[in-house]
């Protein structure tokens, strides 16, 4: 398989609107101007409509219906409004079907939102300093699949055979058969879009968190978020059966036994229920 061909597909994708990186930067800035952030979102009417719909999802706990982004920003705060806006932006890319991975329309999106919620939950639990970043890492970790699906499709039998007969992970089989695995493709895409290095790294290593260098905790959170999403069966595709869990990640986030994991899964299932409105944004 021609890796160059895959890489040239990255250029064919419509670039993520520049506002995404601006929002991520603002989320890290304690002096960010909330009115300005709301203004960036309001400039795009389609995005505004979806942000307002998302804001009213039970997971955000607003008592009354919000009718403007400014009002929502005031009530929810910077971190949440950035999270919601990024969710809306990402839904356009992650909602279509990805046949190569046996993912129907909406499947990859549901698993991405669930991973985002799981990553945020884990980040809060271990007091990771940037739970918003963890959410974004979970949301975007499988982005590479949108480019790789068409290359995986004709080789799916060979990939499956390798995972079954040799016991290797799905992404390792992707590397051998297609030439480049989906985490690498996703990382390259985020690099092109100018996303921060920590996010790029966590996407690149979400199946091999021990190899992360800049922020290993973030990669471990992403990895576990992915595994928990698979366990809950949210939008699982062909690769779900060849999942290799990194046990060290469990220990690093303080999940010592099955009871701890079950507790996180129960809380995640609750959040997923409260976030149903986010599953149909695009």
Tell the smallest beta-carbon distance from residue 158 to Fe ion (Å). 19
Tokens of 35: 């009115």
Tell the smallest beta-carbon distance from residue 144 to Fe ion (Å). 8
Pair 120, 137: CB distance under 8 Å: no
Spatial distance between the Cα atoms of 173 and 181, rounded to a whole number of angstroms: 8
142/184 with CB nearer Fe ion: 142
Per DSSP, the chain holds a count of helices (H) and strands (E) of 16, 0
Tell the smallest beta-carbon distance from residue 36 to Fe ion (Å). 34
Region from 57-65, 94-102, 134-142, 189-197 binding Fe ion, contact rule CB under 5 A: 134-142
Tell the smallest beta-carbon distance from residue 243 to Fe ion (Å). 9
Tell the smallest beta-carbon distance from residue 145 to Fe ion (Å). 7
142/215 with CB nearer Fe ion: 142
Q: 92-122 burial by CB neighbour count: b if 16+ within 10 A, else e?
A: bbbbbebebbbbeebbbbbbbbbbbbbbbbb
142/172 with CB nearer Fe ion: 142
Nearest by Cα to 141 from 98, 199, 203, 187: 203
107/142 with CB nearer Fe ion: 142
Which residues ranging from 215 to 244 are in contact with Fe ion (CB under 5 A)? Answer: none
120 contacts Fe ion (rule: CB under 5 A): no
Tokens of 250: 């469990």
- φ/ψ region of 186 (left if φ > 0, alpha if ψ in -120 to 50, else beta) reads alpha
204/216 with CB nearer Fe ion: 204
Among 107, 120, 142, 174, binds Fe ion (CB under 5 A): 142
120/142 with CB nearer Fe ion: 142
Cβ neighbours of residue 188 closer than 8 Å, sequence gap 6 or more: 7, 10, 144
Tokens of 153: 């499709």
Tell the smallest beta-carbon distance from residue 182 to Fe ion (Å). 6
Nearest by Cα to 10 from 191, 155, 139: 191
22/244 with CB nearer Fe ion: 244
Query: Rule CB under 5 A: which residues touch Fe ion?
Result: 142
């Amino acid at each position: 398989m021609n890796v160059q061909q895959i890489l040239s597909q990255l250029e064919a994708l419509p670039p993520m609107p520049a506002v995404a990186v601006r929002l991520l930067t603002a989320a890290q800035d304690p002096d960010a101007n909330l009115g300005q952030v709301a203004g960036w979102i309001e400039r795009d009417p389609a995005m505004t409509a979806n942000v307002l719909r998302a804001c009213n999802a039970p997971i955000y706990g607003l008592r009354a219906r919000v009718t403007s982004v400014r009002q929502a920003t005031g009530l929810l705060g910077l971190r949440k409004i950035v999270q919601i806006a990024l969710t809306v932006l990402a839904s356009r890319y992650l909602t279509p079907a990805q046949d190569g991975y046996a993912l129907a329309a909406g499947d990859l999106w549901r698993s991405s939102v669930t991973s985002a919620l799981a990553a945020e939950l884990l980040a809060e639990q271990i007091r990771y300093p940037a739970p918003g970043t963890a959410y974004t890492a979970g949301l975007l970790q499988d982005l590479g699949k949108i480019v790789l699906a068409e290359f995986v499709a004709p080789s799916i039998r060979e990939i499956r055979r390798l995972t079954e007969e040799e016991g290797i992970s799905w992404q390792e089989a992707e590397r051998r058969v297609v030439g480049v695995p989906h985490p690498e493709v996703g990382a390259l895409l985020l690099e092109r879009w100018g996303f921060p290095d920590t996010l790029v790294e966590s996407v690149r290593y979400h199946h091999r968190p021990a190899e992360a260098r800049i922020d290993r905790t973030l990669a471990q959170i992403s990895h576990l978020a992915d595994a928990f999403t698979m366990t809950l069966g949210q939008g699982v595709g062909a690769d779900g059966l060849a999942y290799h869990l990194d046990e060290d990640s469990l220990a690093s986030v303080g999940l010592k036994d099955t009871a701890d994991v079950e507790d996180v899964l129960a809380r995640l299932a609750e959040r997923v229920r409260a976030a149903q409105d986010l599953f149909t944004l695009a």
